Each structure stands twice: as C-alpha cells, then as structure tokens.
Amino acid sequence: MDPYTRKQNIEEQKAVEAENAENWFDRVPTPSYVVDENLLISNLKILQDVQEQSGAKILLAQKAFSMFRVYPLIAQYLCGTTASGLYEAKLGREEFGKEVHIFSPAYREDEFDEILTVSDHIIFNSFSQWDKFGKRALAAGAECGLRINPECSTQEGHGMYDPCGPYSRLGVTRANFKQDRLKGLSGLHLHTLCEQNADALVTTVEAFEKSFGQFLPGMKWLNLGGGHHITREDYDRELLIRTIKRLRETYGITVYLEPGEAVALNAGFLVSSVLDTLHNGMNIAILDASAACHMPDVLEVPYRPRIVGSGQPGEKKTTYRLGGPTCLAGDIIGDYSFDRALNPGDRLVFCDMAIYSMVKNNTFNGIRLPDIVLNKADGTIETVRSFGYEDFKNRLS
Ligand SMILES: *Cc1c(COP(=O)(O)O)cnc(C)c1O
C-alpha cells in the first residue's frame, strides 16, 4: 500500500503557515504535540452546524483524541463522549460530563460494575454478551444497544480498518441476529467507515436498512459510529444531513454519530528538532521525534504526514530522509525536500498530529514522550503536560 497524505484543509494550512512565519513554533519545547484552539473550534463549529441542521447528536470518540484539557471546550459543542472500554468511559465521565457511551468487543466481568457507574449507553457486540450483562445494565438504568455488522465493505485495500471484512469479530451479522431476543434493547450501533465521505455512509445505510431496517421501529436510537470525515474540506455535509434527517423521519429515532478524527482533524502539530544530519547515499536527518514512538500511524496505516514548508523528494533544493532517535532501522518518517540544508536545531513541524498520536504513543527505546501544548485562542501558549524519566519507569518494573 502506498503511503498517502491525508487531505489537508487548504485555508487552515495557509493560516498555519502564516502563524509559523511569526515563529510561534519556535517558542514551544520539542518534541511537543501542539493543539491549536482556533483550529479545534473551527471543527467544532462545523460539527455543531451538522447537529443543528440534521438533528443528530455527535459524540467525541476518545480513542482518537483524549486531550482532556480541552474537553470543557469540546463539551460546549458536542453531546458527550464514546469509549472503547472502562478507562476511556471514566475519563469521559470525569472530564467531559454529558453523555457517556461505551462499546467493547467483550466486557470483562471484573470491570462491568464500574462500567455501569459511568456509562449511559452500553453497546454489546454479541447476543452472548447481551445475555451475560444485559439484565445488570438495564437494572442500573443504562440504555443498551447491539452492534451489528451490515456486511458492506466500502474501503478498498484497508483491511486493517474494515470491520466488515471476512471473519470480522465486530458486530452481529444478519445470519447471527436473533430477532426474538431484542426485548430491552433500545438501539442499534454500526461502525464501518474510516476517513470516509458521506457517499460511503449512504451505501452503508442502504445495506443496513435492507438487512436490519425492519428492527428499527420500536427502537429509540441508531448510532452510526465514526469514520465520518465531516470536517474535511471536500466532505459532502449536505448529503450527511439529508441522510440523517431521512432516518430520523422514517423511523422516529435519535441518530448518533461518534467521530474521533473529524473532531480534531488538522487541529494539531508535532513540533520536532533536528538533532544531527548525515550522508549515506542520500542526505539523512535524525530528529527528536520518532515515527515508531510518537506517530505510530505513520508506520501502521502507513501514511506520509505533511511538514510545513516542505516538498516531495526532489521538489525543493535539498532532499532528506527523516528518521527518529530510536535504534529501529525502520523508524523513518519519509523523504522530504526543503529550500535549504537542514542543520541541528532546525525545527520541523508535522501537520495533523492531534489525532491518533498522543493516544497511541509509547516509550520504546526509553525515548521521551512529547510535551502536550495548547496554543490558545488568546495567543498564549500553555504547556499542559511535560513527561520525563518517571513516566518511562512507571510503566515498567
Ligand atoms: C474508532 C471508532 C470510532 C471513531 O472513528 P474515527 O475514524 O476516529 O472517526 C467511533 N466508534 C467506534 C466504535 C470506533 O471503533
């Protein structure tokens, strides 16, 4: 699979480059994840508009972005959070408030009582889990739902992110659906998209309605999961709004969306410094930011992050292979060209690093975790959290 670049919002990118000219990137420690409050707010306004026009309720999927320093801000716009397990649910309850939804492929007996104390909606992945935990969930006052698998793949070549692929463990297929066991369930949940536009949602909803639409009357809600790239410039928001309105009107249900990426898309950066440069058949620069530790999706998806002021290899004057400070040979971010030679101390700013970054980083090789920084709407910079040796040591024994 070829690395690809996430589509960037050109207007925002220009704003960022203008700000860069004023050198605010020079004022933060490196490496650091810098979330830009204004860029985040512009995403939140788009999501708020979708909520108002469609009548849907939108939740933050914390799996993608859990910077709880900004939860009070996000809570001014969205209806709540969704969690992949107990810890995210607790975080949502403690720091965000509002609605807390949870989905897990299988719940643990030793966590379930605590899950009940923090969750409003509990989504089950199978009828056996519903049988095992449903009574307790209902007794605790939770609304219960079932994740279904509409068996409609809309992503090509991304098996890693396709819950509708062969032998998927995620969601109940029509063949496994037991229509005599729905009593007590108040909704259905599906999550099948990844970085997709509204056309893929329409295709999915059609497949869903064909197999499962007959079970919606009598239900209170339908949760359409995440993967909707709503805040991307080319996203067809009108089509999304029409689709949601039709579902609400046809079935008399509340529609939930739970995007992660769309909330903080293009709203954060990873600011790094060059530590050394070498030459071995080509120019190489070693950075204080690592693909393996600090942006694992660059290797896992894989994808090519944008760097402010850079070009494709060969496009600008000098081309470098950028690598991290670990001893992993494959800790390579990619090849980029620049207008001038890189030197130790130079800063490189990676774009779109708010999502799936802080939540996935690690201290492999004992590499320090990037600081978490907020570039506030009032122009001040707040270092929210710095990490050190103790954070590395505390996860080991
Ligand atoms: C990953 C996930 C999300 C969020 O997906 P994004 O691609 O970040 O929008 C929402 N719901 C569920 C169940 C998920 O697994």
Same domain, yes or no: 296 and 279 = yes
Which SS3 state, helix, strand or coil, does residue 201 take?
Answer: helix
- Inter-residue contact 217 to 251 (CB < 8 Å): yes
pLDDT in tens, 343-388: 999 999 999 999 999 999 999 999 999 999 999 999 899 999 999 9
User: What is the residue whose two structure tokens read 């992949």?
Assistant: 84
pLDDT at 177: 98
Mean pLDDT (whole number) for 150-177: 93
Distance 388 CA to ligand 1 centre (A): 30
The answer to whether residues 236 and 345 belong to one domain is no
8 A C-beta contact, residue 222 and residue 259: no
- Report if residue 2 sits inside a domain: no
What is the Å distance from ligand 1's center to 61 Cα? 6
| 74 and 183 part of one domain | yes
User: How far are the Cα atoms of 187, 188, 214 from residue 218, in angstroms, in the given order?
Assistant: 9, 11, 10
Please classify residue 20 by burial: count the beta carbons closer than 10 Å to its beta carbon, then call 0-12 exposed, 13-18 middle and 19+ buried. Answer: middle
pLDDT band at 24 (very low <50, low <70, confident <90, very high): confident
Half-sphere exposure of 303 (CA within 13 A, CB side): 19
Give the separation between CA 287 and CA 320, rounded to whole angstroms.
Answer: 11
Distance from C-alpha of 183 to C-alpha of 180, rounded to nearest angstrom: 8
pLDDT higher than 70, residue 18: no
So what's the pLDDT on residue 285? 98
* Residue 360 belongs to some domain of the structure: no
Q: Based on the fold, state whether residues 272 and 256 are members of the same structural domain.
A: no
pLDDT band at 12, cuts 50/70/90? low
Task: Please give the span between the terminal C-alpha atoms of the chain, in angstroms, as a whole number.
Answer: 38
Instruction: Among 258, 300, 357, say which to mutate for ligand 1: greatest number of ligand atoms within 8 Å of CB.
Output: 258
One domain for residues 80 and 187: yes
Q: Are residues 314 and 251 in the same domain?
A: no
- 330 in any annotated domain: yes
Mean pLDDT over 37-64 rounds to 98
218: tokens are 């009598």
The mean pLDDT value of the chain amounts to: 95
Q: Are residue 57 and residue 114 in the same domain, yes or no?
A: yes
Residue 15: its pLDDT value, please?
61
**Candidate of 62, 65, 82, 228 to mutate for ligand 1, largest count of ligand atoms within 8 Å of Cβ:** 82
Over residues 230-247, mean pLDDT:
98
CB of 6 shorter than 6 A to ligand 1: no
Q: Report pLDDT for 20.
A: 55
Q: What is the residue with the minimal CA distance to atom 7 of ligand 1?
A: 227
pLDDT at 322: 98
User: CA-CA distances (angstroms) from residue 195 to 5, 32, 125, 161, 333?
Assistant: 12, 25, 23, 10, 21
pLDDT value of position 19 = 58
Determine the structural domain holding residue 248 and report its residue range: 38-264
* pLDDT for residue 2: 41
Q: Can you read off the two tokens belonging to residue 202?
A: 């329409």
Per-residue confidence band for 16, with pLDDT thresholds at 50, 70 and 90: low
pLDDT value at position 159? 84
Q: Residue 381 and residue 35: Cα distance in Å, rounded?
A: 10
- Residue 13: pLDDT over 80: no
8 A C-beta contact, residue 269 and residue 36: yes
99 and 145 housed in the same domain: yes
CATH number at residue 338: 2.40.37.10
Q: Which of 217, 240, 264 is the last residue of a domain?
A: 264
Q: Which among 246, 264, 282 is the end of a domain?
A: 264
Q: Tell me which DSSP letter residue 151 carries.
A: -
Contact 351, 266 (CB under 8 A): yes
Q: Residue 3: is its pLDDT beyond 50? A: no
Whether residues 193 and 329 share a domain: the answer is no
Asked if residue 261 has its Cβ within 6 Å of ligand 1, the reply is yes
Ligand 1 pocket member 88 (CB < 6 A): no
Residue 314 lies in a domain: yes
Q: Whose CA is nearest to atom 15 of ligand 1?
A: 191
Residue 131 sits in a domain whose CATH number is 3.20.20.10
Q: Which two tokens mark 135? A: 């009574």
pLDDT range class, residue 9, cuts 50, 70, 90: low
How many distinct structural domains can be found in the chain?
A: 2
Report CA(60)–ligand 1 centroid distance (Å): 9
Residue 156's pLDDT is 80
Cβ–ligand 1 distance for 191 under 6 Å, the answer yes
Segment 328-340, tens digit of pLDDT: 999 999 999 999 9
Q: Which residues contact 169 (CB under 8 A, 6 or more apart)?
A: 105, 125
In a domain, 9, yes or no: no
Q: Is residue 100 part of a domain?
A: yes
Co-location of 60 and 205 in the same domain: yes
Contact present, 255 and 244 (Cβ < 8 Å):
yes
Site to substitute for ligand 1 among 43, 59, 63, most atoms within 8 A of C-beta: 63
Domain boundary among 208, 233, 264: 264
The DSSP bridge pattern shows strands 268-279 and 80-83 to be: unpaired
pLDDT digits (tens, 9 = 90+) for 205-222: 999 999 999 999 999 999
**Alpha-helical segments (H) within the chain:** 10-21, 37-54, 71-74, 86-91, 109-118, 127-139, 198-212, 237-251, 261-264, 291-294, 297-300, 389-393
What pTM was estimated for this model as a whole? 0.94
Same domain, 191 and 278: no
**63 C-beta closer than 6 A to ligand 1:** yes
Three-state DSSP state, 291: helix
* 7 within domain boundaries: no
Taking the centre of ligand 1 as the mean of its atom positions, its distance from the CA of residue 349, in whole angstroms, is: 26
pLDDT at 225 over 80: yes
Query: In the chain, pLDDT over 70 holds for what percent of residues?
Result: 94
Q: What is the pLDDT of residue 157?
A: 73
105 and 131 both lie in a single domain = yes
Angle 357-14-35 from CA coordinates, rounded to 5°:
30
Q: Give the model confidence (pLDDT) of 289-315 as tens digits.
A: 999 999 999 999 999 999 999 999 999
Whether 10 is covered by a domain: the verdict is no
- Asked whether the beta carbons of 274 and 348 are under 8 A apart, the reply is yes
Question: How far away, in angstroms, is 19 Cα from ligand 1 center?
Answer: 31
